[in-house]
Amino acid sequence: MSNDSKLINVIGIETSNADNFFEAKKNLIFKAERISGPKRILDSFKTWQEDKELNHLKFEFIETDKLNGFIDILKKEDKETIVFSGGDPLWFGIGRLLTQNFPLSKLYFEPASTSFQLAFSRLGKPWQNTKWISLHGRDPLPFEKEIKKFPSSLVVLTDSKRGGANEVYQLLHSIGLERKYEFWTFERLGYQNERIIKINSIKDFPNDIDPLHLVILFKKVDPPIKSKDLPLFGIDDSVFLQNSDCPGLMTKRETRVQLLAELNLPKQGVIWDIGSGVGSIGLEALRISPNLKLVSIDKRVGSKNIIEENAKRTGVRPSLIIEDEILNIFKENKITPSLLHPDRVIIGGGGSNSHLIIEEVLKLINSYCILVIPLISLKSISKLESILQPKVHKLSISQHQSYRGVNIGEDIRLSPLNPVFILKGEVQ
């Protein structure tokens, strides 16, 4: 491209200050031969041009609302061009399309405030730690993954063709987190008729919500959890404190209920929860049989604090919580003598060492005991089965698959949870 090639100036504009903006940019505007942008911005520009009696300035106007052919027009005739864009043209704007088709030497970018910056400013809330996600032309699954990380605030760029804010609310409801977040809609930000609504229920949605809108979710301060208000078992996943670096990495409610049933909990005795994660299985076992003595073991750094917090939330008290590799625990005799011989054992998260863990556990069983081992790998089943088969009285294998409904517009999609295999053995 020649050195005298005409420049494409891509200018972000805050629509609330359109007249002042055009006035401030008039020197740049006077040099332009072509002016393009969304129809709403071009209409504002033409009104300003007329008010300032600048109709003698002749421009080629191109609307960018329908982008088909827009790039071809810009390439066909090399003209000094201004491309107006709402907010920041390089943040989900026309900037990406332009950078894909023109060298950076031909492009000049000047951003304005983005829609979500304006939204936060309207509420007077800081936004430096917020997360964001776009649903434009995308499946809602990424939203589900992002919200399960429990961000303090989440900006959702909606897609009106897929349901917009209404669909986002339904997704939040289907995941069971609508009580965890404040739900705000922002319509026509920057325009005189902008509208901001806090949505408390599906009934709060206006019938005339504008396609030009976004959603922001703000995490609520969790009210104190009262254990007396919780069910005996089958506690909602959201009640448990989780690892901040691995949110959602816990035994899901549907699987947890099944595992508790397989354990056939006695009224008294010792239960080991090995690879306990956030402690949910063992803690619910104590709610069912409060006279049990629970040993919770997990190798993840910080797991002890998390289990202790979840014990407070569920109103139970483990006898022993150990944060260490299970094989180190056996080697260093870290389990007190009164808890050393389990009556029930659940082993999860053992990974490649599961067979070694089972061998050590079997050495310490001196009376009737039930072992329950949830697995997600078919290879692990045959390996562990060969170890257990000669040493247990009964050995059974079952597979469990659960689905959760996710609202898609006016329909419901079933979203699968990971299938779980349960290996169960009884030791006499």
CATH number at residue 337: 3.40.50.150
Distance (Å, whole) CA 81 – CA 60: 9
One domain for residues 246 and 145: no
pLDDT at residue number 1: 42
Structure tokens at 285: 């076992």
Structure tokens at 116: 């979500």
Domain count within the chain: 3
Q: Which of 134, 133, 131, 84 is nearest to 112 (CA)?
A: 84
CB distance 187 to 160 below 8 Å: no
Q: Which of 346, 166, 177, 322 is nearest to 248 (CA)?
A: 177
Distance (Å, whole) CA 133 – CA 126: 18
| Domain that residue 95 falls in | 8-113
Residue 3 lies in a domain: no
One domain for residues 238 and 351: yes
One domain for residues 264 and 382: yes
Distance (Å, whole) CA 324 – CA 167: 43
Taking 70 as the pLDDT cut, the residues of the chain under it are: 1-4, 16, 137-140, 160-163, 244-248, 349-351, 406-410
pTM of structure: 0.59
Last residue of a domain, one of 196, 219, 242: 219
One domain for residues 377 and 283: yes
Distance (Å, whole) CA 200 – CA 184: 9
CATH number at residue 185: 3.30.950.10
pLDDT at residue number 341: 92
Residues belonging to the chain: 428
pLDDT at residue number 23: 86
Residue 1 lies in a domain: no
